[in-house]
Structure 1
Amino acid sequence: MTTHTADDIKTVPMTPELYRYLVAQAEPPSPVQRQLTEWNRALGDLAVMQIPHEQSAFLTLLTRMTGATRIVEVGTFTGYSTLAFALGLPPGGTVTTLDLSTEWTDIARRAWQAAGVADRVRLRLGPAEDTLRSLPEEPVIDLAFLDANKDGYATYWDLLVPRLRPGGLLLADNVLYAGEAADPRCTGDAAAIRRFNIKVRADTRMESVMLPIADGLTLARKRTTADRTPGRP
């Protein structure tokens, strides 16, 4: 008989069969989401930049659960994650999404229009750092999502956290970076992600957990004055 301890790794190794089973437990993709996936596949290797559908379903559910009405997304690509947020928004809610590419976001616009959510999306083209600095310096953002250049994550975090309302959420994608971020000797984007992960854990304004969704997803919540954390005044 095998015995287990509380320290045992309890995450189930992901096989192709298990992954298909996991995906089948999520809400199935809509016709527009299926079409957008096909458009992304036509881009070749760039298609890897689309978030997987089970992550999309999680973002939609999280938006609905939190009642978020003001979302900021850094990194649009072809708009699959933007669409996920928009589908979860209540009437009057908006997702402001930031990107540089008109080629990719033109595909996104087609998908948003086809899904009937274009009126909920505010696309801002230009360097994300500049756009974030132009946003009101008030804590009004309910939910933010980072999925852009990895060497910019730390800067985007610094610009978003003050603008996040107390109790608001900040999500960061690719925080495992295919597992490379766990290696202290990693370089390049993996090293940037590793430094970002250290920064997140050290930020006392936020509480966070890293989830093994897709390539790793950090879910961070801005603390409120009502929070009581052991060991902190």
Structure 2
Amino acid sequence: MTGQVRTSTYARSVFGPREPVLDAVLRDALLGRGLRPMQVDDNAGRVLQLLTTLHRPQRVLEIGTFFGFSTIHIARGLPEGGHLVSLEIDAKVAETARQNLAAALVADKVDIVVGPAADYLQALAPLSLDMVFIDAEKTAYPEYLKLTYPALAVGGLLVADDTLPQGDFSAEGDTAAVRSAISAYTRAVARSDHLFSAFIGTDNGLLVSRKQ
């Protein structure tokens, strides 16, 4: 019996080589700057771009910019007039993300806000967002859900990365605490009468929910 092939590996074999600008972004971040490989995988990036293209949100919030790999994909899917605000706590890595967004020609569609995510989220107006993507501190996922749900418009999309229990959370520190938080998030979303949700089979699992 052969071993299971990772979704991203199979996707690369089907879709072919990564486009040059994205390849350069990854090489610079992971090899040039020595950042940890915590970005979404290639297929997850494509899914985010596809979701954004299909949903056509005007107001998008991303929690966790990192070096901007997922940010680029979301921005590419935005409709005319659409805008993305991305939250990042690390000023240095946020500057790297800004450079990458410029290289990918989507900088005009994105504002990166540096600081604790909770500070920004607490000030959100009700029903002010069409789409939210969560890919930041895993132990804070339940808090992010609590703070973003009221701001999500009816029909809006809530997308969270790293939602499969078999994910590699070693870089997050307390693995037990991370798994507990992820479980709390997924169960809350799955059992809500006001969200319709489904998993998408990326390497670490995207959980996509639509506000009813």
Unaligned residue ranges in structure 1 (runs of 5+): 1-11, 224-233
2:67 alignment partner in structure 1: 78
**CA 1:152–1:111: 2 relative to 1, 3 Å:** same
State the Cα RMSD in Å: 2.2
Higher relative contact order (CA 8 A, sep 6+): 2
1:191 aligns with 2:180: yes
1:231 aligns with none
The one-letter amino acid paired with 1:219 is V
Determine helix, strand or coil for the equivalent of 1:178.
coil
Secondary structure of 2:166's aligned partner: helix
Residue 21 to residue 124, structure 1, CA distance change in 2 (3 Å): same
* TM-score for the superposition, normalised by structure 1: 0.81
Task: Count matched residues.
Answer: 205
- Provide closer, same or farther for how the CA distance between residues 151 and 54 of structure 1 changes in structure 2, counting only shifts above 3 A: same
Extract unaligned runs of 5+ from structure 2: 170-174
**Match of residue 133 from structure 2:** 145
Matched with 1:134 is 123
C-alpha contact 2:8 2:203 (8 A) present in aligned 1: no
Q: How far apart are residue 177 of structure 1 and its match?
A: 4.3
* Counterpart code for 2:123: S
Do the aligned partners of 1:211 and 1:218 also contact (CA within 8 Å) in 2? yes
Aligned to 1:220: 209
Alignment partner of 2:146 out of 155, 158, 162: 158
> Could you tell me whether the CA contact under 8 Å between 1:56 and 1:81 is conserved in 2?
yes
Report the secondary structure of 2:159's partner residue: strand
Q: 1:202 aligns with which of 183, 188, 191?
A: 191
Flag as ranges the 4+ runs of structure 1 deviating above 2 A. 12-16, 18-31, 177-181
Q: Is the 8 A contact 2:198 2:207 kept in 1?
A: yes
Q: Percent identity?
A: 33
Structure 1 residues 141 and 58: CA distance shift in structure 2, 3 A: same
Q: Which structure has the larger Rg over C-alpha atoms? A: 1
What letter matches 2:144 in structure 1?
Answer: Y
Q: What's the TM-score once normalised by structure 2's chain length?
A: 0.88
Structure 1 stretch 71-80 or stretch 87-96: which is displaced more?
A: 87-96
